[in-house]
Amino acid sequence: MSKTTENTTPSPANGSHQFLFSKENYMIMFAGLAVIILGFILMSGGKSADPNVFNEAEIYSARRITIAPILILLGLVIEGYAIMKKPTA
């Protein structure tokens, strides 16, 4: 007795290709990426014109120490949500 197996996976040749995520998931992912990039932009800077001068207020500002890392973590949470969200049909 010979059993025949059918290929049940859709092939790109017949045009029935499905994406893993929906458009909504990708939009949420891009929003999370934008929040992460904004966090890194807020964290950057702090270079002094004179290398012998240490500007403590600029380096240890609330923007660099608190707000930027919170935005980066928030962006990562948004990315996780976008990946775990079930796509709507």
Low-confidence residues of the chain, pLDDT below 50? none
CA dist 29 and 20 (Å) reads: 13
Residue with tokens 């120490």: 65
Structure tokens at 58: 């600029």
pLDDT, tens digit (0-9, with 9 covering 90-100), for 19-41: 788 999 999 999 999 999 999 99
CA dist 67 and 43 (Å) reads: 8
Residue 80 confidence (pLDDT): 96
Predicted TM-score (pTM) above 0.85: no
Question: What is residue 31's three-state secondary structure?
Answer: helix
CA dist 87 and 72 (Å) reads: 25
Query: CB atoms < 10 A from the CB of 61, how many?
Result: 16
Domain coordinates in residue numbering, the chain? 20-84
